[in-house]
Chain A
Amino acid sequence: MKIEYNRSAEPPAPFLDITVFDPAHPSERRIIPAKVDSAADITALPASLVQALALTQTHWLKVAGYDSQEAQIAVYDAAIEVAHVRAHIEVIAIPEDYALLGRDILNQLRLLLDGPAHTLEILE
């Protein structure tokens, strides 16, 4: 299945819809867009969603940003479903209304990014 890049991003960016839930309350699920971010070691969810699902904090992590400055940030227990993958992972929170899909999830998927065509394909 080919998915169009999100053209409101500049330049256009590959996004996937993901399902997020608290493993302790699997019936309360949210589907949100997630930007494919192979530079991120860890997946990040919108802070508003972390709050809405009342995800449980499980650790404090050290995170280094693009400027190599380190920050200690909270990590939460979350379950994510994308395509055929279901993962129980630790996530961090960001002040955005979309998620960033890091390599903890991406390394479980086979993706084909067709930049010139602005499409993303999930290979089975």
Chain B
Amino acid sequence: MTRQTLREVNAPYTVDPDDESVGRETIIIRKNGEPVAAIVPYAEYQEWLALKPQLASVRQPSEPPVYAPLPVDPEFEKQWAAFQRLRPELLQNYPSQWVAIVNEQVGAVGPNFDAVAEAVYTKYGNVPRCIGQVREQQRVYHFPYRKVIRREN
């Protein structure tokens, strides 16, 4: 490896291409004893260019993936809206029960999610449905985790 000292001049520094070490070995250019640049054989430069994208991804700390809210089925939204609309009636007839709304009407009622979901499959197949527990106040689930995918406003 050859060391060249960079002279402190305003004119651009030029390297003599006839210098035997140019293109054969790495030349470190120093200013005040500190390395400021390197001249490498062209083939090595080409290799470095090819590796650059991979090196960039290695250097960058991996960013957590950003997830957009998942798409919402408009047919599901109709069933959800019906669940909200029918809430007073549901509270009167099925308090604390789990209810499935299918075709904007009560499609199944049961003691838990599993029972109601199975009843919907048996009766209607895989159709848009809203399944929820009938409560005075909506339950708040505790999920002490920093990342959830929120509803898009």
A95 at interface, CB cutoff 8 A:
yes
Interface presence of B126 (CB below 8 A): yes
Q: Is A114 part of the contact surface with B, judged by Cβ < 8 Å?
A: no
Q: Are B144 and A58 in contact (CB under 8 A)?
A: no
Could you tell me the distance in whole angstroms from the C-beta of A39 to the nearest C-beta in chain B? 5
Which chain B residue lies CB-closest to A39? B144
The bracket for how many chain B residues form the interface is 35 or more
**Do residues B126 and A41 form an inter-chain contact, with CB atoms below 8 A?**
no
Main secondary structure of the interface of B (DSSP, over half): loop
With A44-B143, A62-B139, A63-B140: A73-B150 Cβ-Cβ less than 8 Å? yes
Given A40-B144, A57-B72, A72-B151, A90:B113 Cβ within 8 A: yes
B78 to chain A, nearest CB (A): 12
- Interchain CB contact under 8 A, B151 and A95: no
- Report how many A-B pairs have Cβ atoms within 8 Å: 116
Least distance between A105 CB and chain B CB atoms (Å): 12
CB-contacts of A87-108 with B (<8 A): 87-90, 92-96, 100, 102
Interface flag for B61 (CB, 8 Å): no
A64 in contact with B151 given A56-B126, A58-B129, A87-B114 (CB within 8 Å):
no
Q: Which residues of B contact A90 (CB under 8 A)?
A: 113, 131
A55 and chain B: residue at smallest CB distance: B70
Q: Which residues of B contact A71 (CB under 8 A)?
A: 148, 150-151
* Residue in contact with B76 in the complex, picked from A51, A56, A87, A100, CB distance below 8 Å: A56
Q: Which residues of B contact A (CB under 8 A)?
A: 64-67, 69-70, 72-73, 76, 80, 113-114, 117-118, 121, 125-126, 128-132, 138-151
Some 10 contacts from A to B, beta carbons below 8 A apart, are A24-B121, A41-B141, A57-B72, A58-B76, A58-B132, A59-B130, A62-B138, A66-B145, A72-B151, A93-B70
